[in-house]
């Protein structure tokens, strides 16, 4: 797949545990952030987004936290399931630029 060969950070968690995936973003002027999930052979799937005027947003089983002081973004997945195994990317949008800049990705593996 497209992520084979790329040395991605890997997070291994037990099924049922909570997962936290971290991302450091680059531009203090970024105004919008998105987390994507990508499974092998598929395009990135939107998980959750957050604007820079917020510091937390919750979805179904997922929470995104934004710390603008240290330019850090995290994705929390509650009660991790086997179907959560994938590569997770954070993306930032530079204010007004209408383009996304992606992080390198984190591979999440679930242990039964």
Partner 1 sequence: KAGVTQTPRYLIKTRGQQVTLSCSPISGHRSVSWYQQTPGQGLQFLFEYFSETQRNKGNFPGRFSGRQFSNSRSEMNVSTLELGDSALYLCASSTTGDGYTFGSGTRLTVV
Number of residues that bind partner 1 (CB under 8 A): 27
Per CB under 8 A, the segment of 16-24, 54-62, 67-75, 99-107 that binds partner 1 is 99-107
Which of 9, 49, 52, 74 is the binder for partner 1 (CB under 8 A)?
49
**Strands, E, within 6-85: which ranges?**
10-14, 19-24, 30-38, 45-51, 56-58, 62-67, 72-77
Q: Is 5 in the site for partner 1 (CB under 8 A)?
A: yes
Question: Does residue 101 bind partner 1 (CB under 8 A)?
Answer: yes
Which pair of tokens denotes residue 14?
């037990």
Residues 102 and 91: beta-carbon distance below 8 Å = yes
Contact assessment for residue 35 and residue 90, using Cβ atoms and an 8 Å cutoff? yes
Binding residues (CB under 8 A) for partner 1: these are 2-6, 32, 34, 36, 41-46, 49, 89, 91, 93, 97-105
């Amino acid at each position: 797949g497209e992520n084979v060969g790329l040395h991605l950070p890997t997070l291994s968690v037990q099924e049922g545990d909570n997962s936290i995936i971290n991302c450091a973003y680059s531009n203090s002027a970024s105004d919008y952030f998105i987390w994507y999930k990508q499974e092998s052979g598929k395009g990135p799937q939107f998980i959750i987004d957050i604007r820079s005027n917020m510091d937390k947003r919750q979805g179904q089983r997922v929470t995104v936290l934004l710390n603008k002081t240290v330019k850090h973004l995290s994705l929390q997945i509650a009660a991790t399931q086997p179907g959560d195994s994938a590569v997770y990317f954070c993306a930032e949008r530079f204010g007004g630029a209408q383009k996304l800049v992606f992080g390198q990705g984190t591979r999440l593996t679930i242990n039964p």
